[in-house]
Amino acid sequence: MTYPIDKIRNDFPILNQKINGLPLVYLDNAATTQKPKAVVSRLSDYYLMENANVHRGVHYLSIQATEEYEKARQYIADYINAEKKEEIIFTRGTTESVNLLARVMAPWINKGDDVLVTAMEHHSNLVPWQEICRERNARLRIVPINADGSLDLNFLDKLLKPTVKLLAVTHISNTLGTINPVKEIIKLSHDKGVPVLIDGAQGIAHNPVDVQDMGADFYAFSGHKIYGPMGIGVLYGRETWLRRLPPYQFGGEMIEKVTFEESTFNVLPYKYEAGTPNVAGAIGLEAALRYVRQIGIEEIDIHEKQLLAAATSQLEQIEGVRIFGTAKEKAGVLSFLINGIHPYDLGTLLDQMGVAVRTGHHCAEPLMDTLGITGTVRASFGMYNTLEEVDIFIKAVKQAVKMLR
């Protein structure tokens, strides 16, 4: 079957507009993806016709909203092949998922312990661990990367010791595009008794995710990176872990029994969902995953890799270009610099030509330090980008370089 690009583009009206008089070429998908009509209309249907608070109501709308919310949880559990829907905790996004885990794991992390992160982590999967390590007098150890932007697995193997309480590693680097061999990494870690959190903020949008097959103890992701709403995300955690760990926030929904003296806590997953949840977000995320499934994540992956290959080979021909992240296993993320040109200047000129890219450190400052640079220009592809857009992007880069030189 041919890839239904016309249908897809038609489903994303935002793409069909002009910026500065030129057709929009949206290449900032690693920051956030656009939303198809199916997601927006699901949200609007919910708010116009179905809205109610969940779980405590006896009236029709509340019961319906609760059913839809729990159906979304089940759909997401099936999508990532979690064993049970109770292992799906709704959060605001990857950042909150990581913070939740860091907070509830804190009592397990003591003086002399280690937490491992990698040199390619987004700040969201680094700073929470840095803070917990500081608080608990533990050490944060960094798994380095190789010259091509792949992880140094030999070094990781050496760092995996009995003092390590957790390895937190990204599935796909938002800056380098590197797809980490998460199954192998988890096996290596589990062999040494170390649990693993996978930051799936990018992974979820480009790869099939099967948490049981990869063996993840925890997997975090955001709805907005996979064509879903902002403000909704997931922390998947294995039931055995979630049962053992304490609650995160306290208040309504997460309790079983409350007296003025003390409280007992609800069962999974509600133990981790204090307060009124983002019901529309959860339902909207289900709609987004349904949409992705209908196109096929493998087909999307193949399509994006074609765009990446075309963009990379054309970009390499530009004099003075340096591409960061050339690992063999790589998703549709292209970070680069052009000698003598500031990334911000290049990004601004591209915007004037209708091309949306991101410039800067991409929330990975320590990675920039490792690479000895302050930032890059990053083009990142989504399911709706086209080869024609790659050509426009490359032409725009060439024109900008001419102007800036």
Q: Is 122 in the site for ligand PLP (CB under 6 A)?
A: yes
Q: Is residue 94 at the binding interface for ligand PLP, with CB under 6 A as the rule?
A: yes
Cis peptide before 269 (omega within 30 of 0): yes
202 lies in the site for ligand PLP, by CB under 6 A = yes
Check 38, 52, 63, 363 and give the catalytic one. 363
170 binds ligand PLP (CB under 6 A): yes
C-alpha triplet 305, 124, 186: angle, nearest 5°: 65
Binding test (CB under 6 A) with ligand PLP, winner from 118, 124, 278, 376: 124
**Candidates 35-43, 92-100, 104-112, 351-359 — which segment interacts with ligand PLP by CB under 6 A?**
92-100
Nearer to ligand PLP, 34 or 170 (CB): 170
x/- track of binding to ligand PLP for residues 223-262 (CB under 6 A): ----------------------------------------
| 199 touches ligand PLP (CB under 6 A) | yes
At 372, list the tokens.
């000895």
Provide φ and ψ at 20, rounded to 5°.
55, 35
| CB of 202 or CB of 335, closer to ligand PLP | 202
Cα–Cα distance, 167 to 370 (Å, whole number): 20
Stretch that binds ligand PLP, among 45-53, 74-82, 196-204, 266-274 (CB under 6 A): 196-204
Which listed range, 7-15, 199-207, 256-264, 285-293, lies at the site for ligand PLP (CB under 6 A)?
Answer: 199-207
Q: Which of 222, 266, 359, 380 binds ligand PLP (CB under 6 A)?
A: 222
Nearer to ligand PLP, 34 or 174 (CB): 174
DSSP string, 158-227: HH--TTEEEEEEESB-TTT-BB--HHHHHHHHHHTT--EEEE-TTHHHHS---HHHHT-SEEEEEGGGGT
- Cα 143 to Cα 140: distance, rounded to the nearest angstrom: 10
Q: Work out the burial of residue 150: count CB atoms within 10 Å of its CB; fewer than 13 is exposed, 13-18 middle, 19 or more buried.
A: buried
29 sits near ligand PLP (criterion: CB under 6 A): no
Minimum distance from residue 151 beta carbon to ligand PLP (Å): 14
Strands (E), 223-279: 233-237, 255-258, 263-265
The helix (run of H) or strand (run of E) holding residue 131 is helix 127-136
Fill in the per-residue mask, 359 to 398: x = in contact with ligand PLP (CB under 6 A), - = not in contact. Answer: ----x-----------------------------------
> Across the strands, what pairs with 249?
none
* 363 flagged as catalytic: yes
**Closest by CA position to 150, among listed 126, 120, 121:** 120
Size of the site for ligand PLP (CB under 6 A): 14
The answer to whether 218 and 198 are in contact (CB under 8 A) is: yes
Q: Pick the closest to residue 25 from 343, 381, 399 (CA basis).
A: 381
**Judged by CB under 6 A, which of 164, 166, 167, 201 binds ligand PLP?**
201
The minimum distance between CB 200 and ligand PLP, in angstroms, equals 8
Q: Which amino acid is at 366?
A: P
Residues tagged active-site: 363
* Contact residues for ligand PLP, defined by CB under 6 A: 30, 93-95, 122, 124-125, 170, 174, 199, 201-202, 222, 363
